[in-house]
Amino acid sequence: MYYLKSIATTLRYIYLHGFASSPKSAKALAIGDRFAKIQTQLKIPDLNAGDFSQLTITRQINQVAAEFPDDSEPVTLIGSSLGGLISAHLGQRYQQVQRLILLAPAFGFLSHWLPKLGNEEIKRWQQEKYLMVYHYGEGRSLPLSYDFVTDAKQYPEDILQRSIPTLILHGIQDEVIPITASQDFKRSRPWVELVELDSDHALGDVTTEIWQAIRRSCQLP
């Protein structure tokens, strides 16, 4: 667990990194540094939890919920890619979550990822139970259980109907999760604001714009 110390806050902030990433990703470090400069605490849990092979959406939801303060203090979740999808489901499930900021959220994750693997690779994954996946945080390939897919099918986007202030920032050149995924999500949810950025999935060249949007949404100094 990585912590950025602060003076005091009236609102808790938690950043959720993406799939096969880590708290040391470029985006997590950049946003964490911005929070540190305004002396506001940002929790950045390691969603790999020491065992990427058994990663599931359910495990991540339970892990993050355990980080919520016991005093029912409001929580803002900032989620990147799959971390954005996790954030959205946490917001649906827990009233304590009062705001969402989603960076290229992985809506329709399986429908975008699995076709890239191909039918033969998916069948092999089912039969052998594990698939080697490149983990950017580790810089190497690691096995991932097929339970990840089975579990993810329990979390369709259509159940995300809680009216919670939500800001989405998504690159129009996103090659992993097309911006249409966020456009479709926003279409039937008037409480969602979508900011389209001239960037790709990593959003690495628009960190200043992302921080400005976070400050505005959270009313930070």
What CATH number should be reported for the domain holding residue 20?
Answer: 3.40.50.1820
Q: How confident is the model at residue 9 (pLDDT cuts 50, 70, 90)?
A: very low
What pTM did the predictor assign?
0.94
Residues sharing a CB contact under 8 Å with residue 106, sequence separation 6 or more, in sequence order: 18, 19, 81, 82, 84, 85, 112, 176, 177, 181
What sign results for the dihedral spanned by CA atoms 18, 21, 26, 28? positive
Give residue-wise pLDDT tens across range 27-61: 999 999 999 999 999 999 999 999 999 999 999 99
- Domain assignment of residue 135, yes or no: no
- Domain assignment of residue 149, yes or no: no
- Domain assignment of residue 36, yes or no: yes
Q: For residue 17, what pLDDT is reported?
A: 98
Q: Which domain holds residue 206?
A: 2-109+157-218
Mean pLDDT value across residues 53-78: 95
- For the cut 60, the answer to whether the pLDDT of residue 90 exceeds it is yes
Q: Which two tokens stand for residue 20?
A: 């096969």
Q: For residue 10, what pLDDT is reported?
A: 54
- Domain assignment of residue 176, yes or no: yes
**What torsion, rounded to 10 degrees, do the Cα atoms 204, 207, 213, 219 define?**
140
- Domain assignment of residue 120, yes or no: no
- Domain assignment of residue 144, yes or no: no
Alpha helices for 21-107 (secondary structure H):
26-37, 57-65, 82-93
Q: Please give the tally of structural domains in the chain.
A: 1
Q: Please give the share of the chain, as a percent, with pLDDT higher than 70.
A: 95
Q: For residue 70, what pLDDT is reported?
A: 85
Q: For residue 107, what pLDDT is reported?
A: 98
- Domain assignment of residue 87, yes or no: yes
Cα Rg for the chain, rounded, in angstroms? 17
- For the cut 50, the answer to whether the pLDDT of residue 133 exceeds it is yes
Cα–Cα dist 37/7, whole Å? 11
- Domain assignment of residue 119, yes or no: no
Q: Reduced to 3 states, what is the DSSP secondary structure of residue 175?
A: coil
Residues sharing a CB contact under 8 Å with residue 123, sequence separation 6 or more, in sequence order: none
What sign results for the dihedral spanned by CA atoms 113, 19, 70, 78? negative
Mean pLDDT value across residues 138-144: 97
